[in-house]
Amino acid sequence: MRGNDSAGLPGAAFFTPGSSSFTEFLAAHRPRLLPTAPPLPPGTRMAPDRFPHGTTVLALTYRDGVLIAGDRRATMGNLIAQRDLEKVHPADDHTAVAFAGTVGLALDMVRLYQVELAHFEKIEGVPMSLGAKATRLAAMIRQNLAQAMQGLAVVPLLVGYDLTAPGGGRGRIFSFDAAGGLYEKQQFHAEGSGSPYARGALKKLHRPDLTRREAALVALQALYDAADDDSATGGPDLGRRIFPVVSVITEDGFERLPETETEQLSRETVRQRTDRPDGPHATL
């Protein structure tokens, strides 16, 4: 961001005491750099097939923490706009965010959110609490309401490992609506066009005592179900070797599963579906 004086030194704004929120600082001094700046005239609504949209993302808690995953497809109407989009991103060491919705705005919002958390920690000297992180993201989504009403909605999914939770650390999941409504979800959740099918799979397969490997397989089965019934969701692409992004957050922090592990688990999921096309059954 440009904020230097004629001598090349930082401007006065950088030395003026204020909020620990980088978003508020940007809104005060360079509001046009915010991803929430309206791109269209008031009253204009964008056709849904003009911008790439990301689709299905999901999260579930497991024995050691929380897992978050997403398919790789972006669509523009009935067209596949991108086959290898990454919808899951670390926000900081113990938090991750995934998104469904307008890709360009979502990626800008994720980058701004990453800076927001880092800026707060530098100013305050301590990380933001997980509940405060969720509230801060909800406020950013609320600032995007005008664009959402124009058809450019962004719907994130936030997960984190709460080191300060009563009784010991645990994974937590937060969902949002397009107006910035904040909802904590228990055990699992999914967002995007394929989310009803993914949530159905998660409902029958999730268990609190899942290992990391079992949790990853449950996530891949849920994404497979979403791709099976929702054309905007992409399944494992064995030919191009494009597989869902799967990440976990535990007491040790954020970790994206290696591509080799995700490929092996994806191929195992496809083999299971060859024998049982409708997927595994829940244990009674």
Can you give the pLDDT at residue 281? 84
Q: What proportion of the chain, given as a percentage, has pLDDT over 90?
A: 67
pLDDT at 4 over 60: no
Can you give the pLDDT at residue 7? 46
Dist CA 74 CA 108 (whole Å): 16
pLDDT per residue as tens digits for the range 124-137? 899 999 999 999 99
Dist CA 69 CA 246 (whole Å): 4
Closest to 217 (Cα-Cα) out of 255, 261, 256: 261
Can you give the pLDDT at residue 33? 57
**Cα→Cα distances 7→2, 4, 29, 85, 210, Å:** 13, 8, 19, 42, 59
Residue 232, classed as helix, strand or coil, is coil
Mean pLDDT of the chain: 87
Q: Is 55 in the active site? A: yes
Averaged pLDDT for residues 207-219: 96
pTM to 2 decimals?
A: 0.84
Among the listed residues 36, 55, 56, 250, the single catalytic one is 55
pLDDT per residue as tens digits for the range 167-212? 878 999 999 998 899 999 999 999 999 999 999 999 999 999 999 9
pLDDT at 116 over 90: yes
pLDDT per residue as tens digits for the range 40-79? 566 555 555 677 888 899 999 999 999 999 999 999 988 9
pLDDT band at 160 (very low <50, low <70, confident <90, very high): very high
Can you give the pLDDT at residue 149? 76
Task: Dig out the tokens for 81 from the structure.
Answer: 């706009």
Can you give the pLDDT at residue 144? 82
Dist CA 87 CA 109 (whole Å): 12
Please name the residues in contact with 18: beta carbons below 8 A apart, sequence gap of 6 or more: 24, 25, 28
